[in-house]
Amino acid sequence: MPRSETKLNLTEADIDQGSGIPLYQQVYNLLRTRIVNGELTLNQRLPAEQELTGMLGISRITAKRAMHELALAGLVRRQRGIGTVVTYDATAPVVKGQFDTLLDGLTRMGLETEVRLLDCTAGAPSPAIAEALALKADQMVQRIVRLRLLDGAPFSYLITYIPDDVAEGYEQSELASESFLSLLAKAGHAPVSAEQTISAIAAEAAVAVNLGVTPGSPLLRIHRVMRDASGRPVQDITAHYRADRFAYQMTLNKEAGAASDWTSGD
């Protein structure tokens, strides 16, 4: 249940009318800072738009735009009859994918989180999946949809495709508890390499409802194709991560005196 509305110490002095920064962006920044630093806590109700206009000397349209941007960022939820409620928990831990060695990082993530199986079906692959997994014309795949949680809160939504002959190496019931790295190893196709693409996207409705964010909220999407020791593709996975719950980290090193492709566009 939403908690009572918080009294914020905001005044017109917090807004620079002569700044080149749009007013709605300034209001967004003010409220975002208080949400991220924990001053506004999970399930706390924000002041109504009309109250913000009086506090900051801004228009109703400006206040509404700022609230809308907070919702798109996945920080609040706007609900008729209730108001604008904080959905970001500043006290929740953030998973950091330190993939200096990719497979070790994936293993750590599997150990630090819990998984919930949402769907598992067998069927014909799309042309894109068939190509990614190098499947024969009549070969089927297992499609698995899972949700990963951290401290009981969702942080990633995953859609995985496994060739049917590989999927025969593990039990469907194990999908609700085991990592795919361990399941693929059990099936005799332990992944040893991967190709992946990282991008930023806006949450689609079906993904947003499972991750507990507003449709259009920013997500980090990682698409990965895993290969076993023979070079065969054995898993195609698309993972959607909440931007407030997952940070992708890597370490870059340049060896002195060695030829390198190290370049910078900065």
Q: CA 136 to CA 124: how far, in whole Å?
A: 11
Q: At 66, which CATH number?
A: 1.10.10.10
Is 264 a domain residue? no
d(C-alpha 42, C-alpha 240), whole Å: 22
Is residue 156, in this structure, part of any structural domain at all? Answer: yes
Residue 263 lies in a domain: no
Residues 112-161 pLDDT 10s: 667 889 999 999 999 889 999 999 888 999 999 999 887 777 888 999 99
168, 101: one domain: yes
Residue 246 scores a pLDDT above 70: yes
Q: Does 6 score more than 90 pLDDT?
A: no
Q: What is the CATH number of the domain that holds 105?
A: 3.40.1410.10
The answer to whether 66 touches 27, Cβ cutoff 8 Å, is yes
End of a domain among 86, 106, 126? 86
Domain that holds residue 245: 95-249
Last-in-domain residue among 21, 55, 86: 86
Query: Does 99 map to a domain?
Result: yes
CA distance 37 to 47: 18
**Quick one: 17 and 61 in the same domain?**
yes
Residue 247: Cβ within 10 Å count: 13
Residue 126 inside a domain? The answer is yes
Q: Is residue 71 part of a domain?
A: yes
Residues 108 and 60 in one domain: no
33-42, 121-130, 231-240: range with lowest mean pLDDT: 33-42
**Alpha carbon distance 248, 98 (integer Å):** 7
Give domain status of residue 7, yes or no. Answer: no
In 10 A of CB 61, how many CB atoms?
12
B/e letters for 126-150, b = 16+ CB within 10 Å, e = fewer, are: eeebbebbebeeeeebbbbbbbbeb
Helix (H, G, I), strand (E, B) or coil at 162: strand
Mean pLDDT across the stretch 197-217? Answer: 86
Q: Give me the number of domains the chain comprises.
A: 2
Rounded-to-integer distance, Cα 29 and Cα 65, Å:
12
